[in-house]
């Protein structure tokens, strides 16, 4: 506030009680002594009229001068397509930002956006208010990546990173491939966390990767690009949305491996497991198969003979063009008493016994309970 600029624009911490409940605009006019030192400030609170937002930036003298200075500093050839594109980027800048930020900061941000253009990348910019009452954050996100879930992740992250107590957002869609997301993080003076914009940008970028991106990335790491791409293409269009919601990419890759191993002579995959921090009498079972999904009416009696009470069962059908490619059923099971041996000792015996029962080698009967008690 003691910087020698004559005019200062900002947003106050006070909500307007007229027109609309938004944070009021703030204009500060500095007072100087004979030595050019700041000795005070006249402050005005209110709301800009609609004209301040309706008019083109070039039609507002203060903004016109600022834009002219920014364009000249960009050193783009006059009458060139690049210069026109750069001016168009500036004209679409949020009006509040044009008023509040200095020409140097706006110019740096505009040039970065200018060079970004059609690249499938994320860019982040932040400006801390002079009075530290907010941090104004801009995130340029490829349109195909943007959704409400992603915006909330960004907002939650920035609230925590910057030490905010409230936030508001707005989005701008243009003819370019990026969405401009503006998130204003409300902060308390003196309590704004130190931040590095480049570090934040690096931490935001992985957040925009979706489930499929993460899965493909892991497949590349484990199998190499060629094999990873091939395996991912096999299942990419068939994976049900519910499966993506319930399981991580790491789990999916393990499940893909089981499905890949299935053959006519080995038609069923079995994975009996426990989750950390769960009751030791609670188990989970995944069954895997090809083609049409197994019916619960066939599966439940077998599981009951093994001594399990089925608490829940969720089927996942992997389909493509109407055809069933593969299936998974995930069960939550309950035992009446704790396991007699560690699960990693019992699981192989259960797997063999369950498959033998499923393919008809063995009968399903009450003696199956012995598998989970003795192995």
At residue 358, does pLDDT exceed 70?
Answer: yes
Q: 106, 130, 126: which is closest to 27 by C-alpha?
A: 130
Cα radius of gyration rounded to whole Å, the chain:
30
CA–CA gap between residue 22 and residue 17 (Å, rounded): 8
**DSSP-derived 3-state class of residue 319:** strand
Whole-model pTM over 0.85: no
Q: Secondary structure of the chain: what % helix, strand, coil (to 5)?
A: 45, 25, 30
Over the stretch 233-284, which tens digit does the pLDDT of each residue have? 988 889 999 999 999 999 999 999 999 999 988 899 999 999 988 888 999 9
Q: Which residue has the tokens 């914009």?
A: 197
Residue 58 Cα distances to 17, 87, 255, 300, angstroms:
31, 10, 59, 73
Within 10 Å of residue 19's Cβ, how many Cβ atoms? Answer: 10
CA–CA gap between residue 203 and residue 55 (Å, rounded): 37
CA–CA gap between residue 58 and residue 67 (Å, rounded): 8
Q: Please enumerate in sequence order all residues whose Cβ is within 8 A of that of 295, keeping only pairs 6 or more positions apart, or say none.
A: none
Over the stretch 33-76, which tens digit does the pLDDT of each residue have? 988 888 888 999 999 999 999 999 999 999 999 999 999 999 99
Domain extent listing, the chain: 1-47, 55-207, 209-261, 267-375
Class of the 267-375 domain?
alpha beta
Over the stretch 47-57, which tens digit does the pLDDT of each residue have? 999 999 999 99
CA–CA gap between residue 314 and residue 69 (Å, rounded): 62
């Amino acid at each position: 506030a003691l910087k020698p600029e004559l005019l200062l624009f900002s947003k106050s911490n006070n909500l307007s009680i007229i027109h609309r409940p938004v944070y009021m605009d703030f204009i500060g006019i500095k007072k100087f002594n004979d030595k050019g030192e700041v000795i005070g400030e006249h402050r005005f609170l209110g709301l800009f009229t609609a004209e301040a937002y309706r008019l083109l930036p070039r039609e507002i003298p203060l903004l016109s001068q600022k834009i002219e200075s920014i364009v000249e500093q960009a050193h783009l050839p006059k009458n060139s397509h690049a210069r026109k594109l750069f001016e168009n980027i500036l004209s679409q800048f949020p009006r509040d930002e044009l008023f509040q930020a200095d020409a140097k900061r706006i110019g740096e941000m505009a040039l970065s956006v200018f060079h970004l253009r059609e690249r499938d990348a994320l860019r982040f910019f932040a400006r801390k208010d002079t009075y530290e009452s907010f941090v104004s954050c801009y995130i340029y996100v490829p349109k195909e990546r943007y959704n409400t879930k992603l915006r909330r992740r960004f907002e939650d992250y920035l609230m925590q990173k910057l030490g905010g107590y409230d936030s508001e957002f707005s989005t701008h869609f243009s003819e370019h491939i990026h969405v401009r997301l503006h998130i204003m993080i409300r902060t308390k003076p003196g309590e704004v966390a130190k931040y590095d914009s480049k570090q934040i940008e690096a931490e935001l970028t992985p957040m925009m990767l979706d489930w499929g991106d993460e899965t493909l990335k892991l497949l590349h790491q484990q199998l190499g690009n060629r094999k990873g791409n091939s395996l991912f293409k096999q299942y990419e269009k068939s994976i049900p949305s519910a499966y993506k919601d319930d399981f991580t990419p790491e789990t999916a890759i393990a499940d893909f491996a089981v499905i890949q191993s299935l053959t006519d002579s080995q038609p069923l995959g079995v994975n009996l497991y426990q989750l950390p921090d769960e009751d030791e009498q609670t188990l989970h079972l995944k069954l895997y198969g090809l083609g049409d999904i197994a019916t619960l009416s066939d599966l439940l009696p077998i599981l009951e003979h093994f001594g399990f009470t089925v608490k829940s069962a969720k089927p996942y059908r992997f389909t493509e063009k109407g055809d069933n490619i593969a299936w998974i059923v995930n069960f939550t099971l309950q035992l009446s008493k704790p396991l007699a041996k560690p699960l990693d000792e019992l699981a192989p015996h259960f797997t063999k016994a369950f498959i033998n029962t499923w393919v008809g080698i063995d009968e399903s009967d009450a003696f199956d309970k012995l598998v989970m008690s003795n192995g």
